[in-house]
């Protein structure tokens, strides 16, 4: 399948949120509805206005088949390096297992190189065994333990 990677638009937000909500974990923390709650559009506007954030979609066969968010984080460590943080990765359920996720990540890694990042990092929920295997196969290493302190309930 031919894929196109592009920045998400406001019109894409309902499709993106539907993908984010389309699994057991996402269903618990997202509020997908028609019409979509305004807070998703508010978040999209903030992401779009921030030069350090890119909400991306993958298109194939005339529709959105995947999404991910890249955040470029400047640091003093690593001699003032920049990290690329990957979040909110989803491939539409109808297109999983066809190599689209790998191609999207290869694109994202090249994007990070183009922004002169020294590392690409991500977190994944410990319940997502298949995702962990996927990231391992891409060459990611579990070098750190991630910890979170939730300040609000989902």
Higher per-residue confidence, 26 vs 84: 84
Q: Residue 15 corresponds to which tokens in the numbers above?
A: 């499709």
Give backbone dihedrals phi and psi of 5, rounded to 5 degrees, phi first. Answer: -110, 130
Distances, alpha carbon 10 to alpha carbons 22, 43, 77, 141, in Å? 20, 10, 35, 34
pTM for the full model?
0.92
Q: For residue range 84-138, what is the model confidence (pLDDT) as tens digits?
A: 999 999 999 999 999 999 999 999 999 999 999 999 999 998 888 889 999 999 9
25 — pLDDT class (breaks 50, 70, 90): confident
Distance CA 4, CA 57 (A): 8
Q: For residue range 33-79, what is the model confidence (pLDDT) as tens digits?
A: 999 999 999 999 999 999 999 999 999 999 999 999 999 999 999 99
Distance CA 67, CA 20 (A): 9
Q: What pLDDT score was predicted for residue 153?
A: 81
CATH of domain 4-9+52-137: 3.40.630.30
Q: What pLDDT score was predicted for residue 127?
A: 86
Distance CA 41, CA 13 (A): 7
Please, are residues 60 and 5 in contact by the beta-carbon 8 Å criterion?
A: no
How large is the greatest C-alpha to C-alpha distance in the chain, in angstroms? Answer: 47
Q: What pLDDT score was predicted for residue 17?
A: 98
Distance CA 85, CA 90 (A): 15
């Amino acid at each position: 399948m031919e894929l196109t990677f592009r920045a998400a638009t406001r019109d894409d937000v309902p499709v993106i949120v539907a993908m984010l909500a389309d699994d057991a974990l996402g269903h618990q923390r997202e509020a997908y509805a028609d019409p979509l709650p305004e807070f998703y559009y508010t978040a999209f506007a903030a992401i779009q206005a921030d030069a350090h954030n890119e909400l991306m979609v993958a298109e194939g066969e005339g529709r959105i088949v995947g999404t991910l968010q890249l955040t470029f984080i400047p640091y003093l460590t690593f001699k003032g390096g920049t990290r690329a943080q990957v979040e909110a990765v989803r491939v539409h359920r109808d297109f999983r297992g066809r190599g689209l996720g790998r191609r999207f990540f290869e694109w994202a890694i090249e994007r990070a190189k183009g922004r002169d990042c020294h590392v690409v990092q991500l977190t994944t929920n410990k319940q997502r065994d298949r995702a962990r295997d996927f990231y391992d196969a891409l060459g990611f290493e579990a070098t750190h333990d991630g910890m979170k302190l939730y300040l609000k309930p989902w």
